[in-house]
Homo-oligomer: A and B are copies of this chain.
């Protein structure tokens, strides 16, 4: 049928337009370095070019693709540019995009096993693969009492860990009767904001979240954690949850999980490991030290959508006791009942996270792992770390920049020796050039530049370029 008949895009028109979209993407892949990394539009620049109201009549795809070029692209900050060193990588890859294309087209709902068994089973299998690939404890595998699930983001995963722990430590009373303001959670003073947000959402309250002091390497101090828990117990409160960070956002600081585990074991608390960005490093045996002690963790999360070539969203979340998670989140109305669920023979992933609906995200992760193989993934993780470490040595040898903290992985924190103003000016100038993009943080009150190396196509030449740009700007001021 033609569009005239029924407004739908018929399959042959779809083929033509999809080829055009693919050609557009290939051009983008080839020419991505021609775009300024950081968009320079001002607030409202994009919106003012868009019509005030939706069109009455349908338009051709060509018009949309033209608007993507003319209106959208100037407003894009290019996370897929090899010159992107800001925040954290949000990398993608060919096989991931192919998986997303098929997933969008099948467009199944994976809320229950029964609503598309392959959506659940491929996911369970790939999550088990990850346990092996990262050297994580067997208790996170689905053939034990635990298991893995793909979540939207690490924020969601951490919230789910909080909820599972909350219900376990309140004997299900919060789900039933609401919070009582007596549960206390703990994390590093350098932890990601999602822990605080999770405590707000879950009704724990930020007053009941202890941000534990860090050491010189920005790692949570175990003796301070222990003392704080003791103090809270003596005050009649109920400590229940510790989130330890394998790679903080600011500096990629690596908490000593084994030391944290000693404390949580002693007090019988839930130990959650947030390895959002650094997690993929464990694919390489030589970096597995980052997870030492994880055998004692109750839950673990990391983001394939950060540093594992799988486009957002694809967070991996593992629990040792899936019953605790399901108890916290399960609801079974009549309209979702079915034979497989009733028999208890399957995983229904809607009970493992906040939303009911879920798309077939395992497909892209499956494709990425199969395309690269463990060998290819290790190659790129190693290469990213090696490039970052090379950059670190340049900083160490520099007369104008100084290293703020020595990190063994792929995030380097540094600053200009003249202080905050100089550092900030340099950052601004490099970003304004459009040649590279970095972001900042504050450490011990001082303005600090961050270089995160993890974009799929970053090569040594790009790291060399950003170093040159930084030095050129430093010379200019």
Contact = CB atoms under 8 A, between A and B. Distances in A.
Contacts of A114: 77
Q: Interface SS of chain A: helix, strand, loop or mixed? A: helix
A373 B72 contact: no
Contact of A356 (B11, B109, B113, B193): B193
- Taking the full assembly, how many copies of this chain does it contain? 2
B159 A354 contact: yes
Contacts of A21: 98, 101-102
Interface stretch (A254-262, A414-422, A438-446, A469-477): A438-446
A184 to B, nearest CB: 9
B174 A104 contact: no
A39 to B, nearest CB: 5
Contacts of A375: 7, 56-58
Contact of A311 (B73, B90, B104, B132): B104
Contacts of A14: 22, 25-26, 29, 94, 97-98
A12 interface: yes
A266 interface: no
B101 A25 contact: yes
A117 B22 contact: no
A312 interface: yes
B94 A101 contact: no
Interface in A113-147: 113-119, 121-122, 124-125, 128-130, 132-133
Most chain B beta carbons < 10 A, residue from A53, A208, A346, A442: A53
Contact of A355 (B45, B91, B155, B166): B155
A92 interface: yes
A214 interface: no
A27 to B, nearest CB: 8
Interface in A346-376: 346, 354-359, 363, 366-367, 369-376
A124 to B, nearest CB: 7
A398 interface: no
Given A108-B79, A369-B54, A374-B54, A26 B22 contact: no
Most chain B beta carbons < 10 A, residue from A104, A156, A196, A359: A104
A346 B43 contact: yes
A107 B203 CA distance: 33
A155 B351 CA distance: 12
Interface in A34-89: 39, 41, 43-47, 50, 52-59, 61, 63-64, 68, 71-80, 87
Nearest to A55: B373
A177 B55 contact: no
Interface in A308-365: 311-313, 328-329, 331-336, 340, 343, 345-346, 354-359, 363
Interface residues of A, number: 163
A365 B75 CA distance: 18
B328 A177 contact: no
A200 B179 contact: no
A8 B115 CA distance: 34
A75 B204 contact: no
Contact of A50 (B79, B94, B105, B122): B122
B102 A101 contact: no
Given A97-B105, A178-B208, A208-B178, A121 B47 contact: yes
A388 B200 CA distance: 44
Contacts of A217: none
A396 interface: no
Given A47-B125, A57-B375, A75-B121, A177 B205 contact: yes
Given A95-B9, A250-B335, A75 B107 contact: no
B193 A178 contact: no
Given A101-B100, A122-B50, A196-B331, A178 B180 contact: yes
A354 B47 contact: no
13 contacts: A14-B26, A17-B98, A54-B369, A58-B375, A78-B108, A87-B335, A96-B104, A152-B354, A175-B205, A178-B182, A178-B208, A312-B358, A313-B355
Given A58-B375, A334-B440, 16 more contacts: A10-B94, A14-B22, A14-B26, A14-B97, A15-B26, A50-B122, A54-B373, A58-B371, A100-B100, A154-B356, A155-B357, A174-B205, A178-B207, A197-B329, A201-B201, A249-B335
Q: Which 6 A-B pairs have the closest CB atoms?
A: A203-B203, A179-B179, A75-B118, A9-B94, A178-B205, A7-B376
